Amino acid sequence: MSILVYCILFAFVQTGSHASEFRVGGKNGWVVPNNTNTLNYSDWAGRNRFQVGDSLVFVYNPSEDSVLQVSEGDYKSCSTSDPIASFKDGKTVFKLSQTGPVYFISGASGHCQKSQKLHVIVLSIRGGTPSSSSSPRSAVAPALQLAGFMCGFLLSLCGFIL
């Protein structure tokens, strides 16, 4: 009987698929990495799990910077001449609408060459329609989803036996 109670409680804790907002670069925002802020956009992107429906929030000084969505080739070469999309508002919210890689670079001269660029991989939604949420998912979420599934299975089994 105690396993039944545990599973019921765990089912309430289990996380589902919710859309999240990710502030690009964390508290530093969209800035040129340097010796004092040790920001690395590749490391930042690697610590997060992005899914369709999530949003990236770029926060920057609009008089000094911008955000360009670019092709993989333009990302690698830091070319600003033919962006897919261009943003200059200081707080750009970019909704991730499809799976696959997405590339961004700074539109300010020389910033991309100083590693102000971002490449994210967008995964498909698992388990339903995205809803509003402010806390980003981490690599722990899949384990919680599996544990929730197992608890659901055990609950069904317990109901069948009882």
- Locate the domains of the chain by residue range: 1-18+139-162, 19-136
- Rounded to an integer, the average pLDDT of 14-29 is 78
pLDDT at 104: 98
pLDDT at 19: 84
- Rounded to an integer, the average pLDDT of 115-141 is 65
Whether the Cβ atoms of residue 55 and residue 25 lie closer than 8 Å to each other: no
Burial of 105 from C-beta contacts in 10 A (0-12 / 13-18 / 19+):
buried
- Which residue type sits at 146? L
Question: pLDDT-derived band of residue 32, with 50, 70 and 90 as boundaries?
Answer: very high
19-136: CATH, from 3.30.70.1150, 3.40.250.10, 2.40.160.60, 2.60.40.420: 2.60.40.420
Of 38 and 112, more confident:
112
Taking the complete model, does pTM exceed 0.85, yes or no?
Answer: no
pLDDT at 18: 72
pLDDT at 58: 98
pLDDT mean across residues, the chain = 77
- Which among 19-28, 65-74, 143-152 has the top mean pLDDT? 65-74
**Pick from 4-13, 22-31, 89-98: least confident:** 4-13
- Could you tell me which of 104, 27, 30 has the C-alpha nearest to residue 61? 30
